[in-house]
Amino acid sequence: MALTSQSNIPGGLAITGNNWTIPGTIVGGYNASDNTGSVVPPILTNPSATIYWIQATQNLQVQYSYCMVNGKCSPTAAATFNVDGPNPIVVTTTTGTWQVFNGRLSYGDPTPSATHGILFTLTPPPGYTGSYQWVQLINNQIEHVTLQDGSSYACGPASGLDTQYPYSTSNPTGDSPSVGLASNGTYEQESIDATMYLMWDPSPGSQSSIPVPLGHVDWTPTGTANYDSANGWSIDNNNSSPPSGSTLNFQNSTTYPTWAVNVVNNEGDCQ
């Protein structure tokens, strides 16, 4: 939202300070691409201010005044806003199982209509237009690998934006993260710490709106596979989690996803 002040100051005087008081949770913008994502802080020192409320709140009174070179300040002008947004947000999750899939240690089956590692389903509240999108961050992803020659390696950590921005605009959306099983390996364990954010843009494509965060789901699966010459790779269910059918909580939040790198460019080596 662009806020603009209009001042009629006496001749010979100049404004030395603009004072905006804006309640509620605001940002100055949100820049996101496949490589970086950051929140722009609001600038409240100019006669005009562009801000975005990111949380639905009623009766927000915005105030403005200015001060002049003679040290005197104007009376305070005020306007009241009611900020609306989708509510309630209901996101449910279901989880699958670790498996060996196409030579990979995979959390779930990525095939369309199969049971994915995790499925996020939004039940959107009625009455709101706009669009929803998912954005996923890999907070930490590491693998421990043992090769047939007995050497062991820790691989990673990988972190950053997962795949692309946004991750998906489909509802539901799923993820079946996987890692290749070393053809000369005997043991492999993958641990993932990820956060899936849900965002909503009231007017996508418009300069007057930005995506706002609605909340997120933290998920931390770990999968373990062992190799033997008789059976090939198989899942060690005792050292894999979470159990199939687990549910994870969606946390309402105004925290934006931010990143400085895409995970494919920040994977780390095996050492």
Partner 1 sequence: MRGLNVRFASWPFMLVALAALLAQAPPSSPYSLTISARTGAAVGTAVTVQITLENISPGDVTFVKSRAELSYDVAVVTALGAPVMLTPYGRSLHGQPTTPPIMIRDSPHEVTLKPHQKIVDTIALNKIYQLAPGDYIVQVHKRQLNNAVPNVASNPLKLTIASN
Residue 240 near partner 1 by CB under 8 A: no
**HSE of 169, CA atoms in CB hemisphere, 13 A:** 9
The torsion defined by the Cα of 258, 259, 263 and 268, in degrees rounded to 10, comes to -130
Q: What is the DSSP letter of 238?
A: G
* Centroid of chain to Cα 156: 21
Report residue 129: phi and psi, to 5°: -85, -160
- The percent helix, strand, coil of the chain (3-state, each to 5) is 0, 55, 45
Q: Is 110 in the site for partner 1 (CB under 8 A)?
A: yes
Question: Which of 39, 51, 94, 116 forms a contact with partner 1 (CB under 8 A)?
Answer: 116
Whether the CB-CB separation of 163 and 103 falls below 8 Å is answered with no
Contact string (CB under 8 A) for partner 1, positions 161-200, x = contact: -xx---xx-x--xxxxxxxx-xxxx---------------
Q: Smaller CB distance to partner 1: residue 75 or 149?
A: 149
- Any contact of residue 60 with partner 1 (CB under 8 A)? no
How far apart are CB 228 and partner 1 at their closest, in Å?
17
CB of 175 to partner 1, least distance (A): 5
Tell me if 201 contacts partner 1 by CB under 8 A: no
The reply to whether 141 sits near partner 1 by the rule CB under 8 A is yes
Residue among 23, 13, 11 at smallest CA distance from 66: 13
Rule CB under 8 A: say whether 271 interacts with partner 1: yes
Instruction: Say whether residue 111 binds partner 1 (CB under 8 A).
Output: yes
Alpha helical stretches, state H, the chain: none
Q: Closest separation between CB of residue 166 and partner 1, Å?
A: 11
* Residue 176 burial class via C-beta count within 10 angstroms: exposed 0-12, middle 13-18, buried 19 and up: buried
Nearest distance from C-beta of residue 270 to partner 1, angstroms: 4
For partner 1, the binding residues (CB under 8 A) are 102-104, 110-112, 116, 136, 138, 141, 143, 145, 147, 149, 151, 153, 155-156, 158, 162-163, 167-168, 170, 173-180, 182-185, 263-264, 267, 269-271
